[in-house]
């Protein structure tokens, strides 16, 4: 069994990360009835005996003493991290896993990346090494951050760079929250484009998330609950947005519901690596199957179902509905419509009581309405995990490498150009040591190249018009 | 003679477990519709072939379990132990932590050399426990990373370490609509490499077994366990002790050797398909009767028309008229030409069954005598509660279409260079791909011109 380390950077990263740890504990508590520290738990948690003073050696078997998250919390202002440490999750983190400063990054990528990056490099490397040493077999780093700010965006991508240098063999999965058009941070386009260049070059897989989509999903659920339709009540803890049953008992904060969705995304992504199933799908398989060309590693994700009704019986058609929903616009975590764009590859990770025949039937059913690139007509990667998420009897995570990410990137580029043409706010960036105007031009050209690659795929539908001729054998 | 099984990857281990389970329940289940003495002799032969006894009396499977991540092996070991009637040895497994990531190159070029010694040590230990080693059977899928890549490497190592032993690869062909996106690359690389080291490849297609589960076994929600149980039943029907024609009253002492001798006359032609009838849900067994003429007729037509199961056979397909020396291009399109066939009959009245229809020369290519091209093993001891059971192992054009399809899709993907960087990262270059494509195009061409 392998271990993964979560690096949460900036306000957004830490808030989402906090929800992730909370829900992870809830999930393992539901599965692990005997309180024994098992392999599944070890993928995200260490088992320590706190009596032997703080950062005790890990206990590898036997009863759970004290669980510590394999995480690194980084923020250049103290507010968010302090709150976490005073909240109900304080025992899951120890002080050695934090890196904080006081004044924040002022929504400036350059401050986060160049200034703080330089300043904290040694500290970060040391703490990463420590966390890695506690792992028997470290497979993956998960970075959670937002693109629009200063710390998450700048320092977050600096850490990404660092991970590639120091741990080249470990996979880097990045969950990035992209800013919306009406983002109140004026310089968010600059920050995002500068960060994009780093993601292009150093991440193995990026899972983009947009606040707008999360917001729409939360609304959809609220509407459903409040409409009183269908007569049956919804199981509270099954909501993809809920914290019910988790450690946190205080009143929910505004972004909690949205952050829970992202936390659930990460849990589902890693479920097959942690729990057993008839067709396992490990993290390295995700990267292998969904990334046909090194730079095209942006995966659009969707989670279904968003909630479970309280009645227990699940007729087949509800299962089928789950599959259909995974491809609908409303369930995607970014503002995109994969169904009407070109698929390069698609992965379906099913959890719970679903059999291979249900999976195959739904693939057959949905395939005709989806457009796959010519060289990957049957491009499906499937995984079956037997353990369902809390509150559900089954669930589906769909990851698509699809050209529908293009509009997100082109809009980002437009917003960037609007500011850049006027050279608005540039001086804030250029005054930082290490920032040159070429940083900007390189970043935007990297983004343009990426957009161009997607354009080409769309135009040619990914292949030569005729099938390439096979090798001929002289008889 | 004993057979050592090497279970590779998730698929290999899951199926391997079902195979040993099926063998055990066959010998302990019914008394096989034959005399006590015959039954005892069958049990002993099966035990010697697949198990060794430890002090507690519980049979231990002659198997080596290999996987690059621990979950499946630990599940497999505990399920076997729970069965009570057999188990795996706790020292016969090898696993790592990180899996192969569906990457053939990772399995073959990284895990293979790194773990060669440990794995071959385990195999050597199992081989030494056998009084007489009859050969190796490896169980693996082609679509993933460990079974396929590491499996190909292990097969090569087996060939190097045991040059005189028989090696049979049991290979699982993935669902056509995709289980793994790079399955076609993995399949092409696997098949090409296995072809160089193994004596024969026995293939099961997931699509076909799935259809059997749906239409014949009436299973509504088919799980991989159901699929694997059908595969295990079919394999059991071939590998359980049988009387070969010249064997006389004793069970064959060299099952793999006999199989290879009858079915693989030429090293260019190693792809074997397997059909088994009847296949019905277990609770229908007491209410069904079959006649040998009926079964044989269906089996023969399944061979000729390349049908996967006894429903939906195309009865229109006929062999070309005898006497005409038809070049392959003029044979009827759907007709499945054979090089060699083996029919294995088990159960009641086996010796009275007329198999003349299988000796029809028009079924075969011209280069073997029909007497040599066709063999039959008849065993009165019934198998797995089926009063009558007939299996066909065939070296014919059964796998031509699937092979051609996999190579075509892989080539299509290769032309756009998609995913190739994932393989070059671990040491498999474009040249290696091309070599594999060439090998398989040769195989396709050979089978096409039969």
- Residue A177's alpha-carbon distances to A237, A270, A295, B4, B54, in angstroms, are 25, 19, 19, 53, 59
Q: Which residues pair with A396 in a beta bridge?
A: A304, A350
What does each C-alpha distance from A193 to A198, A412, B269 come to in angstroms? 9, 7, 57
Number of domains in chain A: 2
Segment B299-303 mean pLDDT: 91
Residues A8 and A142 placed together within one structural domain of the fold: yes
A153 shares its domain with A42: yes
Reference B448, options B353, B331, B349; nearest CA is B331
Residue A412 reports pLDDT greater than 70: yes
Selecting from A289, A367, A471 the residue whose C-beta is nearest the C-beta of B437 gives A471
Angle subtended at Cα A355 by Cα B7 and Cα A209, rounded to the nearest 5 degrees: 100
Using DSSP's 3-state secondary structure scheme, residue A152 falls into helix
Torsion angle, alpha carbons of B113, B116, B117, B120, to 10:
-160
Q: What per-residue confidence (pLDDT) applies to B158?
A: 95
Task: Name the CATH architecture for the domain at B282-397.
Answer: 2-Layer Sandwich (3.30)
ipTM of the complex: 0.86
Torsions phi, psi for B316 (to 5 deg): -75, -25
CB contact under 8 A, A280 and B72: yes
Provide the pLDDT confidence category of residue B324 given band limits of 50, 70 and 90.
low
Is there a single domain that holds both residue A135 and residue A7? yes
Kindly state whether B223 is in contact with chain A, defined as any CB-CB distance less than 8 angstroms: yes
Question: Domain holding A357: CATH number?
Answer: 3.40.50.1440
Residue labelled with tokens 């190579």:
B407
Closest residue of chain A to B182, computed from CA coordinates: A289
Please check the confidence at residue B206 and state whether its pLDDT lies above 90: yes
Give the span between the Cα atoms of A148 and A475, in whole angstroms. Answer: 62
Closest CA–CA distance from residue B101 to any residue of chain A (Å): 4
Strand-strand pairing, B51-53 and B59-61: antiparallel
* pTM exceeds 0.80: yes
**Domain membership of residue A413 as a residue range:** 407-460
When pLDDT is averaged across residues B290-313 and rounded to a whole number, the result is: 90
User: Taking 50 as the threshold, does the pLDDT of residue A304 lie above it?
Assistant: yes
Across chain A, mean pLDDT equals 86
Q: Taking residues A158-184, report their average pLDDT.
A: 91
Question: Any idea where the domains of chain B sit in the sequence?
Answer: 2-273, 282-397, 401-449
By mean pLDDT, which of A242-246, A292-296, A412-416 is the weakest? A242-246
Residue B403 has pLDDT above 70, yes or no: yes
Query: Does residue A326 sit in the same domain as residue A273?
Result: yes
Q: Give chain A positions within 8 Å (CB) of B413.
A: 375-376
> Does residue A249 have a pLDDT over 70?
no
- The reply to whether A218 and A124 lie within a common domain is yes
Q: Do A288 and B103 touch (CB under 8 A)?
A: yes
- b/e per residue, A441-463, with b = 16+ CB within 10 A? eebbebbeebbeebeebbeeebb
Please give the structure tokens belonging to residue B334: 């759907």
The region that residue B99 occupies, defined by phi over 0 for left and psi between -120 and 50 for alpha, beta otherwise, is left
Query: Is A155 a member of any domain?
Result: yes
- The two tokens of residue A271 are 């479920």
The yes-or-no verdict on residue B191 having pLDDT over 60 is: yes
Q: At what angle do helices A188-202 and A156-166 cross, to 10 degrees?
A: 10
Any domain includes A276: yes
User: B284: which residues sit within 8 A by CB, 6+ positions away?
Assistant: none
Residue A474 inside a domain? The answer is: no
Percent of chain A predicted with pLDDT > 90: 47
Smallest CA–CA distance from A381 into chain B, residue: B180
Q: How confident is the model at residue B369 (pLDDT cuts 50, 70, 90)?
A: confident
Q: Which two tokens stand for residue B342?
A: 């083996």
Q: Is the pLDDT of residue B147 over 60?
A: yes
Residue-level pLDDT at B154: 96
Peptide bond into B192 cis (omega under 30): no
In chain B, what is the straight-line distance between the N-terminal and C-terminal CA atoms, in Å?
34
CA nearest to B102, candidates B427, B422, B445 = B422
Contact residues, B window 3-32, toward A, CB-based 8 Å cutoff: 10, 14
Q: How far is B37 from chain A (nearest CA, A)?
A: 41
How far is Cα A437 from Cα B391, in angstroms, rounded to an integer? 74
Mutate to test the interface with A, among B10, B180, B213, B444 (most CBs of A within 10 A): B180
Residue A387 pLDDT exceeds 50: yes
Report yes or no: A181 and A143 within 8 Å, Cβ to Cβ: no
**A452 and A381 in one domain?**
no
Residue that is last in its domain, among A343, A377, A406: A406
Distance, in Å, from the CA atom of A350 to the CA atom of A358, rounded to the nearest integer, reads 10
Give the residue from chain A lying closest to B180, CA to CA.
A381
What is the arithmetic mean of pLDDT over A445-459? 92
Query: Do the Cβ atoms of B221 and A467 come within 8 Å?
Result: no
Asked if B177 lies within 8 A of A276 by C-beta distance, the reply is no
Q: B238 near B200, Cβ under 8 Å?
A: no
Give first-to-last CA distance, chain A, whole Å. Answer: 50
Q: Do B415 and A468 touch (CB under 8 A)?
A: yes
Q: Is the pLDDT of residue B247 over 70?
A: no
Assess if residue A127 is contained within a domain.
yes
pLDDT of residue A153: 93
More confident residue, A462 or B350: B350
| Cα nearest neighbour of A466 on chain B | B412
Chain B residue numbers touching A374 (CB-CB < 8 A): 412, 416
CB contact residues (below 8 A), chain B span 272-301, against chain A: none
- Strand arrangement of the beta sheet that strand B271-277 belongs to: B93-95, B63-67, B2-8, B133-141, B167-173, B200-205, B271-277, B388-396, B338-347, B374-379
Listed by number, the residues of chain B in 338-367 with a beta carbon closer than 8 Å to a beta carbon of chain A are none
The distance of A119 to chain B (nearest Cα, Å) reads: 34
Q: Do A423 and A362 fall into the same domain?
A: no
Residue of A nearest to B207 (CA): A360
Q: What is the pLDDT of residue A235?
A: 65
A56: helix, strand or coil: coil
Give the chain A residue whose CA is nearest to the CA of B14: A278
Residues A350 and A413 in one domain: no
Nearest to B252 by CA among B19, B46, B22, B23: B46
CA B397 – CA B394 distance, rounded (Å): 9
Handedness of CA B325, B328, B331, B335 (dihedral sign): positive
Q: Are residues A388 and A426 in the same domain?
A: no
Residue A336: inside a domain: yes
Gap between the Cα atoms of A301 and A279, Å rounded: 20
A136 contact residues in B (CB cutoff 8 A): 97
**Residue A231 has what pLDDT?**
47
Strands B2-8 and B388-396: what pairing? Answer: unpaired
Report the C-alpha gap between B290 and A3 in whole angstroms: 55
Q: Residue B246 has what pLDDT?
A: 63
DSSP A162: H
CB pairs under 8 A between A and B: 149
| Between A13 and B335, the higher pLDDT residue | A13
- H, E, C per residue of B218-283: CCCCCCHHHHHHHHHHHHHHHHCCCCCHHHCCCCCCCHHHHHHHHHCCCCCCCEEEEEEECCCCHH
Beta-carbon separation of B449 and A475 below 8 A: yes
Residues 403-422 of B with CB under 8 A from A: 407-409, 411-413, 415-419, 421-422
| Token pair recorded at residue B139 | 């169980």
Q: Which CATH class is domain B2-273?
A: alpha beta
Distance separating alpha carbons of residues A101 and B382, to the nearest angstrom: 77
CB contact (8 A) between residue A288 and residue B408: no
Same domain for A365 and A291:
yes
Q: A475: helix, coil or strand?
A: coil
Q: Tell me which chain A residues have a C-beta less than 8 angstroms from the C-beta of B421.
A: 293-294
Nearest CB among A287, A363, A375 relative to B177 is that of A363
How is residue A278 written in tokens?
């008839």
Q: What are phi and psi for residue A352, nearest 5 degrees?
A: 100, -155
Distance to chain B for A118, nearest Cα, Å: 31
DSSP 8-state code for residue A394? E
Residue in chain A lying closest to B404 (CA): A470
pLDDT tens for each residue of B26-57: 988 766 778 888 888 888 999 999 999 888 88
Residue among B181, B220, B437 minimizing CB distance to A381? B181
Enumerate residues 166 to 185 of chain B having a beta carbon within 8 A of any beta carbon in chain A.
175-182
Contact B435/A at CB under 8 A: no
**pLDDT tens-digit profile of B93-133?**
999 988 888 999 999 999 999 999 999 999 999 999 999 99
Q: Give me the DSSP letters along B53-84.
A: E-TTS-EEE-EEEEESSHHHHHHHHHHHHHHS
Task: Report H helices in A78-182.
Answer: 79-86, 109-110, 117-133, 156-166
Q: Is B257 exposed, middle or buried (0-12, 13-18, 19+ CB in 10 A)?
A: middle
Residue B333 has a pLDDT of 58
Question: Taking 50 as the threshold, does the pLDDT of residue B327 lie above it?
Answer: yes
Name chain B contacts of A467, Cβ cutoff 8 Å.
408, 412
Which of B182, B412, B418 is opposite residue A468, by nearest beta carbon? B412
Assess whether A341 and A359 both reside in one domain: yes
What's residue A37's pLDDT?
84
Q: What is the pLDDT of residue A266?
A: 93
CB contact under 8 A, B71 and A363: no
Contacts of A289 in chain B (CB under 8 A): 102, 180-182
Please state at what angle helix B112-129 crosses helix B151-161, rounded to 10 degrees.
Answer: 50
Average confidence (pLDDT) over A255-271 = 90
B267 contact A CB<8A: no
Render pLDDT for B430-446 as a digit per residue (tens, 0 to 9): 999 999 999 999 999 99
Write down the pLDDT at residue A57. Answer: 60
The predicted-structure confidence for B259-298, as pLDDT tens digits, reads as follows 998 899 999 999 999 999 999 988 888 888 889 999 999 9
CB contact under 8 A, A471 and B409: no
pLDDT of residue A350: 93
Which tokens hold the place of B37? 């003495």
Other beta carbons within 10 angstroms of residue B391's beta carbon come to 24
> Which of B69, B178, B441 shows the shortest C-beta gap to A471?
B441
Nearest to A40 by CA among A28, A48, A23, A53: A28
pLDDT of residue A253: 64
Residues of B in contact with A360 (CB under 8 A): 175, 177, 210
Among B residues 50-109, those touching chain A with beta carbons less than 8 Å apart: 69-72, 75, 97-103
A chain contacts of residue B442, beta-carbon cutoff 8 Å: 473
Instruction: Answer for the pair A163, A128: CB distance below 8 angstroms, yes or no.
Output: yes
Q: Which residues of B touch A472 (CB under 8 A)?
A: 441
Q: Based on the domain organization, do A70 and A189 belong to the same domain?
A: yes
Q: Span A319-325, mean pLDDT?
A: 89
Tell me the nearest-neighbour CA distance from B96 into chain A, angstroms: 8
Closest to B141 (Cα-Cα) out of B92, B98, B183: B183
CB B239 within 8 Å of CB B255 = yes
Residues of A in contact with B100 (CB under 8 A): 284
Q: Let me know if residue A469 belongs to a domain.
A: no
For B148-160, the pLDDT digits (tens) are 999 999 999 999 9
Task: For residue A421, give the CATH number of its domain.
Answer: 1.10.287
B15: closest chain A residue by CA: A278
Chain A residue numbers touching B428 (CB-CB < 8 A): none
What would the mean pLDDT of B386-399 be, rounded to a whole number?
92
Position A451 pLDDT exceeds 70: yes
User: Residue B416: which of A360, A367, A462 has the nearest Cβ?
Assistant: A462
- Which has more pLDDT, A181 or B333? A181
């Amino acid at each position: 069994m392998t271990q993964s380390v979560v690096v949460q950077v900036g306000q957004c990263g830490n808030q989402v990360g906090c929800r992730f740890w909370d829900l992870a504990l809830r999930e393992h508590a539901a599965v692990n009835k005997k309180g024994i520290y098992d392999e599944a738990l070890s993928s995200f948690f260490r088992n320590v005996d706190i009596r032997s003073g703080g950062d005790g050696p890990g206990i590898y078997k036997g009863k759970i003493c004290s669980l510590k998250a394999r995480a690194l919390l980084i923020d250049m202002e103290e507010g968010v991290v302090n709150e976490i440490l005073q909240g109900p999750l304080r025992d899951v983190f120890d002080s050695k896993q934090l890196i904080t400063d006081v004044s924040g990054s002022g929504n400036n990528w350059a401050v986060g990346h160049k200034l703080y990056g330089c300043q904290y490099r040694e500290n970060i490397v040391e703490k990463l090494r420590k966390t890695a040493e506690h792992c028997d077999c470290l497979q993956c780093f998960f970075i959670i951050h937002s693109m629009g700010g200063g710390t998450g965006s700048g320092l977050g991508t600096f850490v990404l760079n660092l991970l590639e240098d120091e741990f080249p063999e470990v996979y880097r999965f990045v969950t990035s929250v992209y800013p919306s058009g009406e983002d109140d941070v004026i310089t968010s386009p600059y920050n995002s484009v500068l960060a994009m260049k780093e993601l292009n070059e150093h991440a193995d897989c990026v899972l983009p998330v947009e606040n707008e989509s999360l917001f729409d999903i939360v609304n959809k659920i609220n509407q459903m609950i409040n409409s009183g339709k269908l007569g049956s009540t919804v199981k509270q803890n099954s909501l993809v947005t809920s914290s019910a049953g988790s450690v946190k008992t205080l009143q929910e904060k505004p972004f909690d519901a949205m952050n829970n969705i992202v936390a659930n995304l990460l849990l589902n992504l890693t479920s097959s690596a942690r729990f057993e199933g008839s067709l396992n799908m490990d993290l390295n398989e995700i990267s292998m199957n969904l990334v046909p060309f090194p730079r095209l590693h942006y995966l659009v994700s969707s989670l279904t179902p968003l909630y479970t009704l309280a009645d227990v019986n699940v007729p087949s058609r509800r299962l089928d509905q789950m599959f259909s929903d995974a491809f609908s616009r409303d369930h995607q975590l970014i503002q995109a419509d994969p169904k009407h764009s070109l698929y390069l590859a698609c992965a379906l990770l099913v959890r719970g009581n679903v059999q291979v025949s249900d999976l195959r039937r739904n693939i057959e059913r949905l395939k005709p309405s989806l457009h796959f690139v010519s060289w990957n007509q049957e491009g499906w990667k499937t995984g079956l995990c037997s353990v369902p998420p809390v509150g559900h009897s089954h669930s589906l995570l769909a990851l698509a490498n699809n050209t529908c990410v293009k509009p997100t990137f082109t809009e980002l580029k437009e917003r960037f150009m609007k500011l850049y043409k006027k050279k608005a706010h540039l001086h804030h960036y250029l005054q930082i040591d290490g920032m040159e105007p070429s940083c900007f031009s390189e970043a935007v050209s990297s983004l343009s190249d990426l957009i161009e690659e997607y354009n080409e795929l769309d135009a040619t539908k990914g292949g030569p018009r005729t099938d390439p001729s096979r090798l001929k054998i002289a008889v | 003679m004993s057979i050592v099984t090497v279970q590779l990857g998730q698929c290999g281990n899951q199926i391997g477990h079902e195979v040993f389970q099926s063998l055990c329940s066959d010998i302990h289940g019914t008394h096989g519709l034959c005399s006590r003495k015959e039954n005892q002799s069958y049990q002993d032969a099966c035990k010697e072939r697949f198990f060794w006894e430890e002090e507690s009396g519980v049979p231990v499977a002659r198997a080596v379990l290999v996987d690059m991540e621990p979950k499946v092996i630990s599940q497999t070991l505990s399920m076997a132990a729970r069965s009570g009637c057999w188990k795996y040895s706790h020292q016969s497994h090898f696993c790592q932590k990180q899996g192969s990531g569906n990457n053939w190159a990772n399995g073959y070029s990284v895990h293979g050399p790194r773990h060669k010694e440990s794995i071959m040590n385990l195999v050597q230990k199992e081989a030494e426990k056998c009084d007489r080693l009859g050969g190796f059977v490896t169980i693996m899928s082609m679509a993933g990373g460990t079974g396929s890549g590491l499996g190909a490497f292990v097969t090569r190592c087996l060939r190097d370490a045991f040059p005189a032993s028989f090696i049979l690869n049991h290979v699982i062909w993935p669902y056509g609509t995709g289980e793994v996106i790079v399955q076609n690359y993995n399949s092409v690389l696997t098949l090409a490499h296995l072809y160089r080291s193994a004596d024969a490849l026995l293939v099961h297609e997931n699509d076909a077994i799935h259809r059997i589960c749906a239409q014949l076994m009436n299973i509504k929600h088919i799980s991989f366990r159901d699929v694997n149980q059908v595969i295990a039943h079919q394999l059991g029907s071939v590998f359980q002790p049988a009387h070969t024609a010249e064997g006389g009253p004793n069970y064959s002492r060299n099952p793999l050797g006999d199989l290879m001798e009858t079915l693989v006359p030429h090293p260019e032609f190693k792809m074997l398909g397997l059909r088994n009838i009847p296949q019905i849900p277990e609770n229908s067994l007491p209410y069904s009767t079959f006649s040998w003429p009926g079964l044989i007729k269906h089996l023969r037509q399944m061979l000729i028309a390349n049908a996967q199961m006894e429903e939906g056979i195309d009865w229109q397909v006929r062999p070309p008229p005898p006497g005409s020396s038809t070049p392959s291009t003029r044979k009827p399109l759907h007709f499945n030409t054979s090089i060699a066939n083996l029919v294995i009959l088990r159960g009641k009245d086996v010796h009275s069954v007329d198999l003349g229809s299988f000796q029809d020369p028009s079924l075969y290519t011209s280069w073997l005598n029909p007497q040599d091209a066709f063999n039959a093993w008849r065993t009165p001891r019934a198998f797995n509660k089926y009063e009558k059971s007939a299996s066909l192992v065939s070296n014919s054009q059964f796998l031509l279409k699937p092979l051609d399809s996999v190579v075509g899709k892989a080539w299509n993907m290769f032309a756009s260079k998609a995913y190739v960087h994932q393989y070059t990262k671990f040491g498999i270059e474009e040249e290696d791909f091309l070599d594999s494509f060439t090998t398989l195009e040769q195989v396709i061409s050979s089978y096409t011109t039969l």
